[in-house]
Amino acid sequence: MNERSCLSIILAAGEGTRMKSATPKVLHRIAGLPMVAHVTRAAAAAGAGDLALVVGRGGETVAAAVKTFAPAETFVQAERLGTAHAVLAARDAIERGYDDLLVLFGDTPLIEADTLIQARRKLAEGAAVAVIGFHTDQPTGYGRLIEKNGELTAIREEKDCTPDMKAITFCNAGLMAISGHHALALLGKVGNANANGEYYLTDIVAIARSEGLSVVAIEAPFDSVLGINNRAELAAGEAIWQRRTRRRMMLDGVTLVSPDTVHFCHDTEIGADTIVEPNVVFGPGVKIAGNATIRAFSHIEGATVAASAEVGPFARLRPGADLREKAKVGNFCEVKKAVIDTGAKVNHLTYIGDAVIGAKANIGAGTITCNYDGYNKFLTEIGAGAFIGSNSALVAPVKIGQGAYVASGSVITEEVPDDALAFGRARQKTLPGRGRQLRERQASAAAAAGKSSHSE
């Protein structure tokens, strides 16, 4: 089938207002990726080499956004006269002559490449049209697939259905594969004599049949053809995507202790034998190798985590966090744009930003890299095997050498050479007996004023 050329036509002209949003519907995101990008991905995975995007008036935002993730040719359907009319907006592309056309909807993002491949296969076997249908016990609102003797003869929109037809539960998902050789002739014969006065794409089924062409319906899971029109459906779509991805991750060898509580992004990569504990959120751009452990309640985005590294519980890895093998970032730590080299430990209550932490260095609890002066960011470099005492502030730009020690509570503003010990704090002064004296003086002052002591 690879040798058959294929154009995917993505309809995104129908705006609707039910999202109640300044953002066009198809740019709302599922797993961090605009809905329409999920559709272009599925089309590309099904072998569609070219992409025609049909937008309505004012669709420039959608067109510009789509161009950032897929090379698409944009067509404008100036008037919304129906799905067949929308497909014909891409006439110039269709006329270039493709073997297969895939008509997809920008607001139906969960469609899987497998279903599209199956539809294209039907075209390769000689069908002029392969319609994607689904079964539901709540068919209201959908076009019904009308079959006679097991063959698809027509699609009838709900409004045009007889009561008998309304009882049919095999419905039209709206998406279809059309033979590129027959498409323009079929579409040209579609009229608008129906309850909505629209040019229905679905009419090409009956037209093709009347010309003796072969038409088939294939069945897709209901979950994969959900159309999204409001934020509740957007959340339902997100849930379906997450469920699918969790399952794929687990089948690929990732342990999810409590799958329903882990949230992935469209591009999350995790290697086999990594364990992800409950309540972990992955933002965009995360790559985690095998054998790592991501403990509960961690939030990770734009980060790379190597094999056998440990993250969390309650860790935040921000963009540019780069944990090498066996590195550890523990509870209530935040790491941004920093290498934590092999075996280094950042275990408690720490902020590491714009830094390079050498192999096996140990960063004590409460250490902060002071990387920002309100205008610029500066680098903190810590050598291999260095030991940073708890509650230290490292004022960047600053370098701490290999094997160096920084005393607890230090404010380090100057370079610490290899193997040096740096105290960046006032020395402790202890005055014997002065604590008692202080207490007695305060007690007698309080008695004179008629107050009781703080310990009562």
Catalytic positions, please?
348
Cis peptide before 24 (omega within 30 of 0): no
Task: Give the span between the Cα atoms of 13 and 75, in whole angstroms.
Answer: 10
Rounded least distance, CB 227 to Mg ion, Å: 5
Q: Which of 24, 56, 82, 227 binds Mg ion (CB under 5 A)?
A: 227
* Residue 80 interaction partner, one of Mg ion, ligand UD1, none, beta carbon < 5-8 Å per kind: ligand UD1
| CB-CB neighbours of 347 under 10 Å | 18
Task: Give the span between the Cα atoms of 213 and 375, in whole angstroms.
Answer: 69
Rounded least distance, CB 89 to ligand UD1, Å: 8
Rounded least distance, CB 174 to ligand UD1, Å: 3
Residue 182-221 contact track with Mg ion, rule CB under 5 A, x = bound = ----------------------------------------
* Residue 14 interaction partner, one of Mg ion, ligand UD1, none, beta carbon < 5-8 Å per kind: ligand UD1
How many binding residues for Mg ion (CB under 5 A)?
A: 1
* Residue 238 interaction partner, one of ligand UD1, Mg ion, none, beta carbon < 5-8 Å per kind: none
Buried b (16+ CB within 10 A) or exposed e, 386-420: bbbbbbbbbbbebbbbbbbbbbebbebeeebeeee
Nearer to ligand UD1, 86 or 286 (CB): 86
Task: Give the span between the Cα atoms of 453 and 1, in whole angstroms.
Answer: 90
Nearer to ligand UD1, 105 or 282 (CB): 105
* Residue 81 interaction partner, one of ligand UD1, Mg ion, none, beta carbon < 5-8 Å per kind: ligand UD1
* Residue 171 interaction partner, one of ligand UD1, Mg ion, none, beta carbon < 5-8 Å per kind: ligand UD1
Nearer to ligand UD1, 54 or 361 (CB): 54
Rounded least distance, CB 228 to ligand UD1, Å: 10
DSSP 427: P
Task: Give the span between the Cα atoms of 422 and 356, in whole angstroms.
Answer: 19
Contacts of 390 by beta carbon, 8 Å cutoff, 6+ apart: 364, 365, 366, 367, 408, 409
CB-nearest residue to Mg ion: 227
Task: Give the span between the Cα atoms of 41 and 23, in whole angstroms.
Answer: 21
Nearer to Mg ion, 202 or 274 (CB): 202
Task: Give the span between the Cα atoms of 337 and 357, in whole angstroms.
Answer: 11
Rounded least distance, CB 22 to ligand UD1, Å: 18
* Residue 65 interaction partner, one of ligand UD1, Mg ion, none, beta carbon < 5-8 Å per kind: none
Q: Calculate the alpha carbon distances from 337 to 10, 344, 379 in Å.
A: 38, 16, 10
Contacts of 418 by beta carbon, 8 Å cutoff, 6+ apart: 383, 401, 402, 403, 404
- Site residues (vs ligand UD1, CB under 6 A): 11-14, 54, 77, 80-83, 85-86, 105-107, 142-143, 155, 157, 171-174, 200-202, 227
CB-nearest residue to ligand UD1: 143
Nearer to ligand UD1, 143 or 401 (CB): 143
Nearer to ligand UD1, 10 or 388 (CB): 10
Task: Give the span between the Cα atoms of 7 and 180, in whole angstroms.
Answer: 9
Question: Taking the CA atoms of the chain, what radius of gyration do you get in angstroms?
Answer: 32
Rounded least distance, CB 200 to Mg ion, Å: 12
Residues that bind Mg ion (CB under 5 A): 227
